[in-house]
Amino acid sequence: MEAIMAALDGVNAIAWGWPGMIIIVGGGLYLTFRLHGFQFVNFGRSFRMLRRRADPDVTDVTKGDVTPRQALFAATAATVGVGNIAGVATALAMGGPGAVFWMWITALVGMCTKAVEAMLGRHFRTINPDGSISGGPMYYLTKGLNLKWLGYMFAFFAALAAPGIGLMVQSNSISYALEFGFGVPRLATGIVIAILLGLVILGGIKIIARVASALVPFMCIFYIGVAVVVLIIKAPEIPAALGTIFVHAFTPTAPVGGFAGYAVACAMRFGVARGIFSNEAGLGSAPYRPCCLHD
């Protein structure tokens, strides 16, 4: 077990360390400049696209399985949640207040990365003989870059990572919160989550999109509403909090750590890492929903 943990720590140091951070955030910055701030200039257009609905009489499979609105809510369901709550708390605990600033930066450039992932997934999708639609990084790596071996590798590692970052973190946070707050046994929570999740995912992307489009708006309203209430209650402390965030984001030394720049390094590393975990930009999990969009 110690050998396995040591191997995982080594992989983690690369994937969630400086090499991975530079590649993902650097790629987001490159795409932002290369596409002339795509995520900012097309913000209004994105909201206008949400008004498009599916034509119930359409039988052409090339029209896709879900509408833009359903794709958005399906993607939002996987983005807004544990990463935005537990991820921020972890970043603060491990990287200090300055980590929040680097989470903001990651989110800004990550919007462009995620948009590009979605567009590639949509462009290189495959219409199967039965009319279903397949897509994602493994398809545009194969069809776009002609790197079939890399597509297979992505599919393999994505299958390994999905239970950890896609299921275990969320179910553990839910079960712990219910046990700590209401005394609900973790096993009971896990069984209920497994049953509900099975009922949804076994229906495919169409069922997932329909459930997400029904639940996610209320989830977002509740999430934002609670955040606004907290900000109103703590309004007098907001200026000091913002000042602390900016100061610690660029503080060259730390009380502990032994060398100049340690605090900034920790803030950047954990802020960027938790920012990526929160919005999933660059991880390759975003393109699956948009590849099923209607034209």
pLDDT on residue 62: 44
Q: Residue 185 has which token pair? A: 């046994």
- Alpha helices of 144-185 — where are they, by DSSP H? 148-161, 169-182
**Alpha-helical segments (H) within the chain:** 2-15, 18-34, 38-41, 43-49, 68-79, 82-95, 98-123, 137-143, 148-161, 169-182, 186-201, 204-233, 238-249, 262-279
**76-88: pLDDT as tens digits:** 766 666 666 766 7
Rg (CA), the chain: 21
Give pLDDT, residue 108: 87
Please say whether the beta carbons of 287 and 113 come within 8 A. no
Predicted pLDDT at 56: 40
The closest of 148, 118, 158, 153 to 293, measured between CA atoms, is: 118
Q: Which residue(s) pair with 133 in the sheet? A: 127
Q: Which tokens in the block code for residue 183?
A: 């005394």
pLDDT at 229: 94
Residues of the chain short of pLDDT 70, as ranges, are 1, 4-5, 8-9, 11-15, 49-68, 71, 74-75, 77-84, 86-87, 131-132, 163-166, 203-206, 252-267, 274-275, 277-278, 286-295
Give the tokens for residue 98: 């300055």
Look at the pTM and tell me if it is higher than 0.95.
Answer: no
pLDDT tens figures, 242-256:
888 888 877 754 444
Helix (H, G, I), strand (E, B) or coil at 126: strand
Rounded to the nearest 10°, the torsion over CA 263, 268, 273, 279 is 130
